Structure formats: C-alpha cells, structure tokens
Amino acid sequence: MPLPLNHKPLFGLLTRTQLGQAGAVARSMTQPRRSAAALLLLGATLLSGCAPMLIGAAAVGTAATVHDRRPASVIFDDQQIELEAMTALLRNSGVRDRSQISATSYNRTLLLTGNADTTEVGQEAAALVSRIGKVQRVVDEVRVGPRLDMRRQAEDTFITGRVNTDLIGVRLPGFDPTRVKVVTNDGEVFLMGLVSPAEAEAAAEKASYVPGVKRVVKLFEYVDDTNT
C-alpha cells in the first residue's frame, strides 16, 4: 500500500500577516526579549492549529495506565530501562559523539531508533543496552545517516501525535489506542504494544495514512483476541 507523502512542513504554517506581527513586536523589544517573544508567538500559532491533535493525545495519555495490558511492575521496569539505556549511551563517547539515538522500552523490549555515522556505532549502542538488567530483547532500528535537524525532529513529533490521535478513530471491537506505543524517526513510524493480530493490522493501516509517514514498522507482541 503506497503511503502518502504530501505532509507540509510544520514550520511552514505561519502566514505573512503572522510573520509581520512577529517582526513588529520584535523591533520594539531588546534582544533578550525578542527571542522569548518569537518563541511564544511561534508556539501559540502552531498550537492553535494542532488543538484537536493535542486534545486527543492528552486523552490517550491519561487513560494509558488504566487500560495497559502490562502489569504495573513491568511499566515501572520499562521506565527504568529507558533511563538506564539513555544514561549508558550518553556516557559512552564513542556512541554519543557519533550518533543521535533514542531508546524506548515496552514490555521489556528495548527499541533503538535514530541515526549513526556507521553501522558499527549502531551495533555498539545495541551491545551497550543489551547488558541492562531486565531487558529481554533489543530491537536495533538505528539508520546510518546524518543527525536530524530540529525541523525534522519537530515533524516527527507531529507525526507521533497525529498517529496517536487517529488511533482513537479505529473502529474495531475492543480496540484500545492506549495499548499502542508510537515512535517516529525521520518519517518512519514504529508501533509497539501488546495487541491481537487484528488490532495490529488496524493500527498499522491507520498510521500509514498519516501525512508524512514514509514507512510503518510493526514491533508488536501478540495476545489472544479474547485477552483483555
């Protein structure tokens, strides 16, 4: 199924009028205040156009722990695993200085995403985090390539929020969007969670239609359809 690639850059949403207003305000301020005002105006403008997405994402986040199929102890383990993984990656200069890697743990499966200068750097990162206690599996999805700039990272954040919001609209009996973990890197969307095969297909299909998504990767663990 071809994926739509017509997503407009997030920072291309400001109109000429809004840019003119920002310039007028900036010219009347000292330099320190200009930077703060510009950030506030940009944030307010972007948020005004993303309100439905943010509301949906907030609803997902609030209900997540209530409907999670993971035991509370495993949720806690995942949080600790992520913290230890990022600490290990940042402390290793050979990895830190030659990559841009994020770690996401779900049900003790640790996903590495991001970019590295070479394949060997990504492999070294995977070896480092595999030594963390309670990690049952490491999924290395680190790509060889340049680090992502802030604009690309912002677009990835937007895609993640949009996928989370759109998952609320999945029409499948018993489907719960809070059971799907969404991670985006350079337009690639990775889906994790404890779901049934039918839920996995529905979630992946919904994510594939989000503008800007280049590829959807399913990293689910499967449960019976009757499992609550």
Domain presence at residue 20: no
- Are 214 and 170 in a shared domain? yes
Per the structure, the complete domain to which residue 79 belongs is given by 72-144
Domain presence at residue 24: no
Averaged pLDDT, 140-160: 98
Domain presence at residue 13: no
Domain count, the chain: 2
**pLDDT tens by residue, 19-76:** 455 455 444 444 445 444 444 444 444 444 555 555 554 554 445 566 899 999 999 9
**pLDDT tens by residue, 115-127:** 999 999 999 999 9
For residue 140, the domain's CATH number is 3.30.1340.30
- Are 178 and 140 in a shared domain? no
- Are 138 and 187 in a shared domain? no
Averaged pLDDT, 152-167: 99
Domain presence at residue 19: no
- 126 phi/psi in degrees, rounded to 5: -65, -40
What pLDDT does 9 receive? 40
- Are 104 and 130 in a shared domain? yes
Torsion of CA 121, 126, 128, 134, to 10 degrees: 170
- 209 phi/psi in degrees, rounded to 5: -90, -5
**Domain end marker among 144, 175, 206:** 144
